[in-house]
Amino acid sequence: MMGRILQRCLPFLFAALLAACSTAPVQYQNPVIHADYSDPDAIRVGDMYYLVSSSFNSAPGLPLLQSPDLVNWTLVGHALQQQVPLDVFAKPQHGKGVWAPCLRYHDGKFWIFYPDPDFGIYVMTAKDFAGPWSAPHLLVGGKGLIDPTPLWDDDGQAYLLHAWARSRAGFANVLTLRRMAPDASRLLDDAGKIIIDGNKLPKYTTLEGPKFYKRDGYYYVFAPAGGVEFGWQSAFRSRSIDGPYEDRIVLAQGSSPVNGPHQGAWVQTPQGEDWFIHFQDKRAYGRIVHLQPMIWRDGWPLIGEDVGGAAGQPVARYRMPVSGHAKAAPPTSDEFNGSKLGLQWQWNANWQPSWYALGDGKLRLFSQSRTGNLWDVPSLLLQKLPAETFTVTTKLDAGGLSDGGVAGLVMYGSDYIWLGTRRNDGRTQLALVSCYKADANCHEQQEAGVDLPSPQVWLRMQVIAGGVTQFSYSADGVKYTPIGAQFTAKMGRWVGAQMGLFSSGVGGHADIDYFRVAP
């Protein structure tokens, strides 16, 4: 009897389950970008969302990403092709250069305010987000001025809020307000006013990264504190632009596995829903990008999952802000078939066109002379690590290297390792070479090596959780042989580890057929 009832009911139960699934909201999973797009700032213009991030010493700098739904992001270019001053950034300036930028849309154009902690705050504009962008204009010079954020007020007045780097200014943990010309050509005061002082707030350290907004008659400053790895996101509000400001912690790690969730941007959809983009410091993987839902309660934002207090905690999954768009992510692989390098590539310093050539479906890297290890070599061609686990395969032809030249595939950070070729007396040798504490002038050490039957070799790098990296090689592109022990990738100065290619020596070149990245 029971069996017949179940048999009759099952089709209806299945139909009900199918209907429930079909109406369930589509969800995204954090992080939305598992790559080092540090200190993200984002805005919406029309139905499109735009994002910029720090780029430090890399060139081109100031990556430009856009998305139709805040989850699927496409890299469309870089605002800064070469860093200024040009001569300073002709060699790697690790941890310097472009710190946390601010992106805005005002008066019919896009604006980027970016700080260089050693030179001051620069402004760039563009009619089209993908560029071209104007040359950087030095709005205000000085050491230690960081994390600028402008606000054009309802009465036509313009302001700039910024933080301070203790390493340059001798103090930090405060936010300073300046009056600014509406066209951002100059500041209108001789000295600013500290409007938020973290030193006067319990447990506040490293207050920085502000973003300035206005809503319902309140001035709001969204700013992180507590440090990159273990901090939180705060909000400050005042009826007067110069304070006093109330404060509230609005996002913290809580019981989630997401450490230090902070520094980012409040974005609103055309339908009036609120979201918050921020980063999580993941050491060798860099500062990866998360998206949190956000609501307003009693005039204060609450970001992430509501766990019953003033501060939310990060969500692992949540419904899509906008559904129906194709999956997208910044590029990784490059077949080198085009006339330009893929947008994912950045050099270790300001680059020269003479360093490379593209043709016949190959990348030719012309060997650049160097002394010492790779830490201060500008001509490294690098990109961000794209996921927790992945595999890179590349085919290299070392036949064009001069005697003593080397070229290869590198996992790069303050510790690094590379697998590549050496040319000696017309013979090609494979070498696995490491350098621990590269930023402290370590000497390269060969971990393993074999003679190769020809100048052509396939190189492979497999990365698993924690940045643990295993190299292997092949003489035919089919059978791969592991070489050396595992290596744990290590971050650089304020950036995650990077992967890429290099060729060094006196004269000569190496040809790379492709650079393929797979899950």
Where in the chain are the domains?
27-319, 346-518
Amino acid in position 265? A
How many CA atoms within 13 Å lie on the side-chain side of 21? Answer: 6
Residues 88, 97 contacting (CB under 8 angstroms): no
Q: What is the CATH T-level fold of the domain 27-319, as seen in this structure?
A: Tachylectin-2; Chain A (2.115.10)
Residues 343, 75 contacting (CB under 8 angstroms): yes
Note the pLDDT of residue 19.
43
Active site residues: 39, 208
Note the pLDDT of residue 151.
98
Note the pLDDT of residue 7.
54
Do strands 287-297 and 381-384 pair parallel, antiparallel, or not at all (unpaired)? Answer: unpaired
CA-nearest of 221, 196, 243 to 301 is: 221
CB count in 10 Å sphere of residue 201 = 15
pTM over 0.75: yes
Residues 54, 95 contacting (CB under 8 angstroms): no
Residues 42, 292 contacting (CB under 8 angstroms): no
Q: What is the gyration radius of the CA atoms in the chain, in angstroms? A: 25
CA-nearest of 334, 342, 329, 383 to 65 is: 329
Q: What is the CATH number of domain 346-518?
A: 2.60.120.200
Give the span between the Cα atoms of 75 and 65, in whole angstroms. Answer: 4
DSSP assignment letter at 135 = P
DSSP assignment letter at 508 = B
DSSP assignment letter at 5 = H
Element (H, E) at 513: strand 509-518
3-state secondary structure 350-401: CCCHHHEEEECCEEEEECECCCCCHHHCCCCEEEECCCCCEEEEEEEECCCE
Do strands 456-464 and 74-80 pair parallel, antiparallel, or not at all (unpaired)? Answer: unpaired
Sheet with 300-303: list strands edge to edge: 262-268, 274-281, 287-297, 300-303
Helix (H, G, I), strand (E, B) or coil at 22: helix
Amino acid in position 298? D
Give the span between the Cα atoms of 322 and 70, in whole angstroms. Answer: 8
Unique residue bearing structure tokens 């290099």: 502
- Structure token pair of residue 3: 């069996």
With a CB cutoff of 8 Å and minimum separation 6, the contacts of 298 are: none
Note the pLDDT of residue 23.
56
Helix (H, G, I), strand (E, B) or coil at 12: helix
User: Is the backbone of residue 336 left (phi > 0), alpha (psi -120 to 50) or beta?
Assistant: left
Mean pLDDT split into 10-residue runs, the chain, 519 residues: 49 46 79 98 98 98 98 98 98 98 98 98 99 98 98 98 98 98 98 97 97 98 97 98 98 98 97 98 98 98 97 98 96 97 98 98 98 97 98 98 97 98 93 98 97 97 98 98 98 98 97 97
Give the span between the Cα atoms of 437 and 204, in whole angstroms. Answer: 32
Please tell me whether the peptide bond between 85 and the residue prior to it is cis, using omega within 30 degrees of 0.
Answer: yes
Element (H, E) at 293: strand 287-297
Residues 210, 219 contacting (CB under 8 angstroms): no
Element (H, E) at 50: strand 48-52
- Structure token pair of residue 245: 């400001």
Note the pLDDT of residue 6.
45
